[in-house]
Amino acid sequence: MPEELTREQKGELRGRLVALRDELQELLQLNEEGTRPVDLNLPIGRLTRIDAIQQQQMAQAGRRSLEVRLRQVSAALACHERGEYGECQSCGEPIGYERLAARPETPLCLDCQDQAEAER
């Protein structure tokens, strides 16, 4: 079973979460251009229009993924503020520094994550 996080580890991980939040917000701003609707009145060919629509759909999917991760980061920061950061939201056990260092916004320990994925 992983050990609880030290004060230094929590501080380091909080810094990573803040940096990740800022990076995701910046990526969302950059991504906004590609998700705008394709103007069907532009005088371009049919294949070019289809390509533009496909690119728009890929940008929208990427944006949704960024938005989900940003919500996870925000939730992790809120847990940090409440003093609950590093605890599995399913079983309440410590998540472990190595896992949080790899994905600081994760809300579940490895066992609970494996169980959640097996149930899908």
* Cβ contact 77:84 at 8 Å: no
- Through-space distance between the first and last CA atoms of the chain, rounded to whole angstroms: 25
pLDDT in tens, 81-104: 999 999 999 999 999 999 999 999
Each domain of the chain, given as residue ranges in start order, spans 7-118
pLDDT in tens, 9-20: 999 999 999 999
> CATH top-level class for 7-118?
mainly alpha
Give the pLDDT band of residue 54 (cuts 50, 70, 90): confident
Give the pLDDT confidence score for residue 48 in this predicted structure: 75
Alpha-carbon gap, residue 101 to 12, rounded angstroms: 9
What percent of the chain has pLDDT above 90? Answer: 66
Give the pLDDT confidence score for residue 57 in this predicted structure: 85
